[in-house]
């Protein structure tokens, strides 16, 4: 179990705090809006009305002991910067910042945060890929040039089995899991003789060029 700080409880921060708790973590949440804090309080370890940019307030909340901080202060760039500086001063190792513009992202990048989250841009790019026929949905880069990526079942694979497709020999990729979108079940050991369905997504591992070729299949 890890401990997290969430500064700012707009839509993103609120959902992030709830998701972290649902995964068995402790969450300290802070926002200036008392109504929002009251709504979240039953779901998290500790929710406080306060200024997430104030060093003394964060110290009283025990922020020095958290594993990571998520800064989500909406369109208030100054608060985003000040909150980031405050948690850095308290020696929080990992800091994740939600940004709302390219300029915001550049500023936070120069501050050396662990990662920058741009939900609107990322969601738009993901949707654009899906509706323009690109199959890849999500990916995790595991090393130089090697990734695990989620993709829909290409129409030319629909109804065929993994044994028939011989993906390693023909495409130089491996299916490591199947996700049935109708039932919500995930199979980490796919049946090689079970026909694929367009109601499934595939977790595909391979070198990036091979995955790019697979993503272009129709």
CA count, 13 A, side-chain hemisphere, 20: 25
| pLDDT at site 126 | 57
Digit-coded pLDDT (tens) for 168-187: 999 999 998 888 877 777 88
Per cent of the chain over pLDDT 90 is: 54
pLDDT of residue 190: 86
Pairing of strands 3-7, 186-187: unpaired
pLDDT at 88 (0 to 100): 95
Nearest to 149 by CA among 211, 216, 217, 213: 211
Distance between CA 117 and CA 201 in Å, rounded?
24
Is the separation of the CB atoms in 114 and 96 below 8 Å? Answer: yes
User: Tell me, what's the pLDDT at 133?
Assistant: 47
87 and 113 Cβ atoms separated by less than 8 Å: no
- DSSP for 59-101 reads HHTTGGG-SEEEE--TT-HHHHHHHHHHHHHTT-SEEEEE-SS
What's the Cα-to-Cα distance from 54 to each of 61, 82, 97, 174, 210, rounded to whole Å? Answer: 11, 8, 17, 49, 49
Distance CA 157, CA 214 (A): 11
The region that residue 112 occupies, defined by phi over 0 for left and psi between -120 and 50 for alpha, beta otherwise, is: left
Q: Look up residue 199 and give its two tokens.
A: 């109601």
- For the entire predicted model, the pTM comes to 0.63
Distance between CA 177 and CA 142 in Å, rounded? 16
Low-confidence ranges of the chain (pLDDT < 70): 123-144, 218
| Distance (Å, whole) CA 40 – CA 10 | 11
pLDDT of residue 198: 80
pLDDT at 134: 43
Q: How far, in whole angstroms, is CA 68 from its chain's centroid?
A: 14
Per-residue model confidence (pLDDT) at position 140: 61
């Amino acid at each position: 179990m890890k401990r997290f700080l969430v500064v700012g409880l707009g839509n993103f921060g609120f959902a992030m705090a709830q998701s972290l708790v649902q995964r068995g973590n402790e969450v300290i949440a802070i926002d200036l809006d008392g109504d929002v804090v009251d709504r979240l309080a039953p779901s998290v370890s500790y929710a406080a009305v306060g200024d997430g940019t104030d060093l003394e307030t964060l110290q009283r909340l025990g922020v020095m002991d958290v594993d990571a901080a998520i800064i989500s202060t909406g369109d208030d760039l100054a608060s985003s910067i000040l909150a980031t500086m405050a948690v850095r001063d308290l020696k929080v190792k990992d800091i994740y910042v939600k940004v709302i513009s390219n300029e915001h992202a550049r500023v936070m990048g120069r501050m050396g945060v662990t990662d920058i989250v741009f939900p609107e841009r990322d969601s738009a790019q993901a949707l654009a890929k899906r509706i323009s026929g690109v199959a890849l949905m999500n990916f995790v880069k595991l090393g130089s040039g090697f990734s695990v990526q989620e993709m829909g079942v290409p129409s030319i694979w629909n109804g065929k089995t993994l044994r028939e497709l011989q993906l390693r020999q023909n495409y130089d990729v491996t299916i490591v899991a199947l996700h049935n979108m109708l039932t919500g079940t995930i199979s980490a050991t796919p049946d090689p003789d079970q026909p694929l369905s367009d109601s499934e997504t595939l977790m595909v591992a391979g070198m990036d060029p091979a995955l790019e070729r697979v993503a272009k299949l129709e």
